[in-house]
């Protein structure tokens, strides 16, 4: 699942991952992500940190507080690259950190570090 308010970023990540046979569900807002997560449990969540309705740190903490998602990897994807941003993401509950702009040549490899490959998405 990719939680990201920027449609162009969602499209790029979806195209890269679908080319490697992943299924990508998307949510453009934190509230839509929370609604989605009421009925589904994704293998991994890619989390934009800067969103208009709720920042990714807060959303990550909310998701990780639910026992159902305690083991679901959440990877921060952000242009925030100031000193301490990586640490803040990890403190919020993120399991990893990918800087934007993403490197489409290694994105799948970065994600595969956190999940076991599931041919059914």
Is the residue at 117 inside a domain? no
Is the residue at 76 inside a domain? yes
Joined together, the tokens standing for residue 67 give 């026992």
Report pLDDT for 78. Answer: 84
The domain in which residue 85 lies consists of 2-112
Is the residue at 120 inside a domain? no
At 29, give phi and psi (nearest 5°): -140, 160
CATH code for the domain of 107: 3.40.50.2300
Is the residue at 119 inside a domain? no
Is the residue at 103 inside a domain? yes
Is the residue at 121 inside a domain? no
Is the residue at 118 inside a domain? no
Q: Tell me: the pLDDT tens digits for 60-116?
A: 999 999 999 999 999 999 886 677 788 888 899 999 999 889 999 999 999 999 886
Higher-pLDDT residue of 39, 119? 39
Count how many domains the chain has: 1
* Average pLDDT of the residues in 3-30: 96
DSSP 46-84: EEES--SSS-HHHHHHHHHTSGGGTTS-EEEEES--STT
Q: Tell me: the pLDDT tens digits for 36-71?
A: 999 999 999 999 999 989 999 999 999 999 999 999
* Average pLDDT of the residues in 17-31: 96
């Amino acid at each position: 699942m990719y939680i990201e308010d920027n449609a162009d970023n969602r499209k790029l990540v979806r195209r890269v991952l679908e080319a490697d046979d992943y299924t990508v569900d998307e949510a453009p807002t934190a509230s839509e992500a929370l609604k989605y997560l009421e009925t589904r449990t994704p293998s991994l969540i890619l989390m934009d940190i800067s969103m208009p309705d709720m920042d990714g740190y807060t959303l990550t903490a909310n998701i990780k507080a639910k026992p159902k998602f305690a083991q679901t990897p959440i990877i921060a994807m952000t242009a925030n690259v100031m000193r301490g941003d990586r640490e803040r993401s990890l403190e919020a509950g993120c399991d990893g950190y990918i800087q934007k702009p993403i490197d489409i040549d290694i994105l799948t490899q970065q994600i595969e570090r956190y999940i076991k490959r599931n041919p059914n998405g």
